[in-house]
Amino acid sequence: MSLGGVSEVPWHHDIVALATRHGKEHQISPALAAVGLVTRVVAVDTDRFGTFSGEIQRPGPPDQVVLTKARAGLEIAGLPRGVASEGTLGPHPDLPMLTCDRELVGFVDLELGFTLIEEALGFETTVASRRAQPGDDLEGFLRQIDFGPQGVIVRRADHQFDPIVKGIVTIEALHSAIKEVANCSADGYAVVETDLRAHLCPTRQRVIREAADRLAERLGRRCPSCACPGFGIVAYDIGLECASYGAPTGLERATIEGCVRCDLRKEVAAASLADPSTCPMCNP
């Protein structure tokens, strides 16, 4: 790859290792193809970096883990580039009554010497559970979560992890798992909950694709100084002035664009002043 070239894409069918065991190539590969990267799925046990079902805790914050996954993939494949994704579900930081799906897609390039993470947020993913005994009518619950496309897990109701049955997408398999797990639980109940792994959670798939598209868009921009791919927003300058009184608001006064490799930073000012409705002085 030549950074000084005039090609429309930064890479030319270069291979990037994709660390996944849950089918994320369907969301990530098409996006990276737009910038000339061909993904190679690598057999990495990504469960060792944490599971949604809780039996293995994530070893660090999501932005650290997603890059660790990407590095694990490229090391196994013997390639200079790696990509991976990491998702978290929990309360939105500004709207805690809403469950937020935050998906990160991380990229590591050892050849060019940079890392990059892009993210997307979604609000459609259902995190739901229901206690059940063998023979219980679960039709309403299953309809609510779109069972089939959305898989489920059956676990013990007494918070033990053995046994736990994952990847259930048929009624027959569900009833069999409830019977198996309830028989091992101290109170005779099992818990049926949404399986949030990417290959069994269509709503997460859509958010991962959005994050991958953002990563590809960012990788398609070169630094004006060193021509490295990945130029884009690195920070926000908050304090856009009110159009009426000039007081600072909580809106962005400017975005700071920068390079992932060199020190170049460029400020892009907001196109207009803030509406007075957003001003703490106008609306105390």
Q: 2 falls in which pLDDT band (50, 70, 90)? A: very low
pLDDT single digits (tens) 126-135: 899 999 999 9
> Which pLDDT does position 10 carry in this prediction?
80
Kindly state whether residue 227 falls inside one of the protein's structural domains.
no
Q: Above 60 in pLDDT, residue 1?
A: no
Q: 4 falls in which pLDDT band (50, 70, 90)? A: very low
Q: 6 falls in which pLDDT band (50, 70, 90)? A: very low
Query: CA-CA distance, 198 to 208, in Å (whole number)?
Result: 9
> Which pLDDT does position 50 carry in this prediction?
81
Q: 58 falls in which pLDDT band (50, 70, 90)? A: confident
> Which pLDDT does position 85 carry in this prediction?
96
Q: Based on the fold, state whether residues 141 and 96 are members of the same structural domain.
A: no
> Which pLDDT does position 98 carry in this prediction?
80
pLDDT single digits (tens) 10-35: 888 999 999 998 899 999 999 999 99
Q: Residue 148 is part of which domain span?
A: 129-195
Query: CA-CA distance, 165 to 112, in Å (whole number)?
Result: 43
HSE toward the beta carbon, residue 265, CA cutoff 13 A: 9
Q: Above 60 in pLDDT, residue 48?
A: yes
Q: Above 60 in pLDDT, residue 202?
A: yes
Strands (E), the chain: 14-19, 37-42, 81-91, 99-109, 114-122, 129-132, 152-156, 164-168, 190-194, 232-238, 252-258, 265-269
Is the bond preceding residue 284 a cis peptide, omega within 30 degrees? no
Kindly state whether residue 9 falls inside one of the protein's structural domains.
no
Q: Based on the fold, state whether residues 78 and 209 are members of the same structural domain.
A: yes
Kindly state whether residue 228 falls inside one of the protein's structural domains.
no
**How many independent structural domains does the chain possess?**
3
Mean pLDDT for 145-154 is: 96
* Amino acid, single-letter form, for residue 217: E
Q: Based on the fold, state whether residues 146 and 168 are members of the same structural domain.
A: yes
Q: Based on the fold, state whether residues 53 and 173 are members of the same structural domain.
A: no
Whole-prediction pTM = 0.88
Q: Above 50 in pLDDT, residue 252?
A: yes
